[in-house]
């Protein structure tokens, strides 16, 4: 089976009241951990690559690894560019075989965002590729995504119909209180998402797939292991999983998870190194790290996204 687009996945997810997991990938162990979990749970899957990941691993390596995962699992898998920041980057990924791209024009004005997004949509649709746009800004700090708390700006529901109509995007990422990275809420602050905004967006865009970025729950059991074995991640806090589950039953059809995978991998490696100071073969610590990724993804597919058995 070749790579698929997200069109059919999102249609079924919307109707079925679940969401597809979009997991960030950077290397072989991460791809294997995710896809083995999805295979065992028979779940549809989106693997996504950031500009930073593409620079780190090279386009061709990630492409071939994902092709290998499709051959190995037989699952419907979409390969998606995460946070594309220019027409040229989106074009390179489309020409290079991706089945979906995100153009993130959220840092621009409404009109500039529309113009850039439409340019990408025109190019992508001519080649059968789907496009995710973004309206509203997420708080948080990530390599390629820097928006301070003060600049955080929830999506204005009054703008979504015009944005979708004028750009032709296939899905829309919105800002309702999630943020990238492992520090999503201030210490002592009660995690909250603006479900009222999501409801209003859903009302204005019937049957249209919505995307939630910054959706790691920063699983406390892994934070604890990291901190126990020499790491320093005090106050790491994510989005409570019951909120993600609720969003998945609504218009949210794609839930982006990266930090939880980073955390699970780092926790495993820290623990392994501390318990086996004599080990120096990377396979000795990458194997359990890959197992941790698999366990986290299984948990998300079954208990959070609700997409197990839907491939």
- At closest approach, how far in Å is the CB of 235 from ligand 13P? 15
151 given a catalytic annotation: no
| Spatial distance between the Cα atoms of 301 and 176, rounded to a whole number of angstroms | 22
> Is 97:3 a contact under the CB 8 Å cutoff?
yes
Which range binds Zn ion by CB under 5 A, 3-11, 95-103, 207-215, 239-247? 207-215
Cβ-Cβ contacts under 8 Å for 235 (sequence gap 6 or more): 183, 187
Q: Which is nearer to ligand 13P, 75 or 212 (CB)?
A: 212
Binding mask 37-76 for ligand 13P (x = CB under 6 A): ----------------------------------------
The footprint of ligand 13P on residues 8-37 (CB under 6 A) is 24
Reference 260, options 290, 222, 227; nearest CA is: 222
The 3-state secondary structure of 88-107, one letter per residue: HHHHHHHHCCCCEEEECCCC
Q: Map tokens 């850039």 to a residue.
A: 116
- The residue annotated as part of the active site, out of 72, 82, 104, 242, is 82
Query: According to the binding rule CB under 5 A, does residue 213 interact with Zn ion?
Result: yes
143 binds, among Zn ion, ligand G3H, ligand 13P, none (CB under 5 to 8 A by kind): ligand G3H
Which range binds Zn ion by CB under 5 A, 55-63, 129-137, 208-216, 240-248? 208-216
| Spatial distance between the Cα atoms of 12 and 170, rounded to a whole number of angstroms | 14
Give the E-state strand segments of 136-267 in sequence order. Answer: 139-142, 145-147, 171-174, 179-180, 210-212, 252-257
- At closest approach, how far in Å is the CB of 142 from ligand 13P? 6
> Is 50:68 a contact under the CB 8 Å cutoff?
no
Residues at the site binding Zn ion, with contacts judged by CB under 5 A:
213
Residues annotated as catalytic are 82
Residues at the site binding ligand 13P, with contacts judged by CB under 6 A:
24, 82-83, 180-181, 213-216, 256-260
């Amino acid at each position: 089976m070749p790579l698929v687009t997200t069109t059919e996945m999102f249609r079924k997810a919307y109707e079925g009241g679940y969401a597809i997991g979009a997991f960030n990938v950077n290397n072989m162990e991460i791809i294997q951990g995710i896809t083995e979990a999805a295979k065992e749970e028979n779940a549809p899957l989106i693997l996504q690559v950031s500009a930073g990941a593409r620079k780190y691993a090279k386009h061709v390596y990630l492409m071939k690894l994902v092709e290998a995962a499709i051959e190995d699992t037989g699952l419907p898998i979409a390969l998606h560019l995460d946070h594309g920041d220019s027409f040229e980057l989106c074009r390179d990924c489309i020409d290079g075989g991706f089945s979906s791209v995100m153009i993130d024009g959220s840092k621009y004005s409404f009109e500039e965002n529309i113009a850039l997004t439409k340019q990408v949509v025109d190019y992508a649709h001519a080649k059968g590729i789907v496009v995710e746009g973004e309206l509203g800004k997420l708080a948080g700090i990530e390599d390629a995504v820097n928006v301070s708390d003060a600049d955080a700006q929830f999506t204005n529901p009054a703008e979504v119909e015009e944005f979708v109509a004028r750009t032709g995007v296939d899905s829309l990422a919105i800002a309702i209180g999630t943020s990238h990275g492992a520090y999503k809420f201030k210490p002592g602050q009660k995690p909250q998402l603006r479900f009222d905004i999501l409801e209003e967006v859903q009302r204005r865009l019937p049957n249209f797939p919505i995307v939630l970025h910054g959706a790691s729950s920063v699983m406390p059991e892994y934070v604890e292991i990291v901190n126990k074995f020499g790491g320093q991640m005090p106050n790491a806090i994510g989005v409570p999983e019951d909120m993600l589950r609720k969003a998945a039953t609504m218009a949210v059809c794609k839930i982006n998870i990266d930090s939880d995978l980073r955390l699970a991998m780092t926790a495993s490696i820290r623990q392994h190194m501390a318990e086996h100071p004599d080990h120096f073969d990377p396979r000795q610590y990458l194997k359990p790290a890959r197992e941790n990724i698999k366990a986290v993804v299984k948990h998300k597919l079954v208990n959070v996204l609700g997409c197990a058995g839907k491939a």
